[in-house]
């Protein structure tokens, strides 16, 4: 008589009826392969089993890559929709003051940032009362401020979009909320020939929202639309 345990009749019948279910179950296949290796003894090298292990490891890596690509695609799509919604909201106002207030309000909420500040360089002295009313969104600066703020003393031409992490934000930009800002996106603005540049700064309390490793295409597109909108108001 054989000493090997036999399968129960119902289990054996179920396996015979649906053998594909065994082949598709990774845990069951692992158990069967391990049992086969034990039955061969320790002096036999199962090259087929080694090859299967390597193929399985490669498949796992491919699946991880596949999931990462899908996640990145969904994230890019969500970011694109977010920027498009923000642009549509930005184009709604028919008055400049409302345009700026919406920028620091609903537009900032759509983009999920904690602060948006518009910095305009000007050679004029004195403070306009309208500027004081919009000090939560708009700030004036002397010529050369934008380049200095972007390069922070380093040589080189500033990029259109600069992403960086911070210990704290600039008080000149963020005011009383500066100490909570941990990352920012700085969008350099070109208002056309004969006009001084501007700067749109998005600040976040999340240190990982804006990092140098992130892509800048969507923010560059947003900056381009914002530049054209500002040229309309500056006429």
Does 13 or 108 have the greater pLDDT score? 108
Give me the long-range contacts of 227-230 (CB less than 8 A, separation at least 24).
227/189, 227/190, 227/191, 229/90, 229/91, 229/99, 230/189, 230/191, 230/198
With a cut of 80, say whether residue 189 has pLDDT above it.
yes
Contact 202/226 with Cβ under 8 angstroms? no
Assign 18 a pLDDT band (cuts: 50, 70, 90). confident
**What is the predicted pLDDT for the residue at 1?**
42
Assign 179 a pLDDT band (cuts: 50, 70, 90). very high
Does 62 or 163 have the greater pLDDT score? 163
Average pLDDT in the 128-148 region?
80
Average pLDDT in the 125-141 region?
72
Q: Which domains, and CATH codes, for the chain?
A: 9-62 (no CATH), 68-233 (3.30.450.40)
- pLDDT, tens digit (0-9, with 9 covering 90-100), for 70-111: 766 667 777 788 899 999 999 998 888 899 999 989 999 999
Residues 6+ apart with CB under 8 A from 106: 89
What is the rounded distance in angstroms from the CA atom of residue 13 to the CA atom of residue 79?
53
Assign 41 a pLDDT band (cuts: 50, 70, 90). low
Does 36 or 107 have the greater pLDDT score? 107
Pairing outcome for strands 161-165 and 183-189: antiparallel
Tokens for 173, please give them.
Answer: 């930009």
With a cut of 60, say whether residue 154 has pLDDT above it.
yes
**What is the predicted pLDDT for the residue at 125?**
63
What is the rounded distance in angstroms from the CA atom of residue 120 to the CA atom of residue 196?
8
Contact 182/47 with Cβ under 8 angstroms? no
What is the rounded distance in angstroms from the CA atom of residue 113 to the CA atom of residue 83?
12
How many alpha carbons lie under 13 Å from residue 10 in its C-beta half-sphere?
A: 0
Strand partners, 230: none
Average pLDDT in the 170-193 region?
92
Pairing outcome for strands 138-141 and 115-121: parallel
Mean pLDDT of the chain: 82
**What is the predicted pLDDT for the residue at 163?**
95
Tokens for 96, please give them.
Answer: 């400049």
Average pLDDT in the 197-207 region?
94
With a cut of 90, say whether residue 10 has pLDDT above it.
no
Does 100 or 53 have the greater pLDDT score? 100
H or E element: which one contains 96? helix 96-102
Min mean pLDDT across 20-24, 167-171, 199-203 is at: 20-24
**What is the predicted pLDDT for the residue at 2?**
47
Average pLDDT in the 98-127 region?
88
């Amino acid at each position: 008589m054989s000493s090997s345990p036999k399968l129960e009749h119902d289990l054996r019948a179920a396996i015979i009826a649906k053998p594909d279910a065994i082949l598709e179950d990774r845990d069951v296949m692992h158990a069967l392969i391990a049992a086969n290796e034990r039955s061969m003894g320790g002096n036999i090298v199962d090259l087929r089993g080694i090859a299967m292990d390597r193929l399985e490891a490669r498949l796992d890596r491919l699946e991880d890559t596949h999931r990462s690509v899908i996640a990145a695609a969904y994230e890019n799509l969500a970011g694109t929709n977010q920027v498009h919604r923000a642009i549509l909201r930005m184009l709604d106002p028919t008055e400049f003051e409302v345009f700026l207030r919406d920028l620091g309000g609903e537009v900032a909420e759509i983009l999920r940032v904690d602060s948006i500040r518009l910095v305009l360089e000007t050679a004029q002295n004195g403070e306009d009362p309208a500027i004081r009313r919009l000090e939560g969104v708009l700030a004036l600066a002397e010529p050369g401020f934008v380049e200095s703020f972007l390069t922070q003393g380093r040589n080189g031409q500033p990029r259109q979009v600069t992403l960086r992490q911070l210990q704290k934000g600039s008080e000149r930009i963020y005011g009383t909320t500066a100490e909570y800002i941990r990352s920012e996106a700085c969008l350099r603005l070109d208002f056309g020939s004969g006009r001084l540049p501007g700067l749109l700064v998005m600040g976040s309390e999340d240190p990982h929202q804006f990092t140098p490793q992130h892509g800048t295409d969507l923010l560059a597109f947003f900056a381009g639309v914002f530049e054209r909108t500002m040229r309309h108001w500056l006429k």
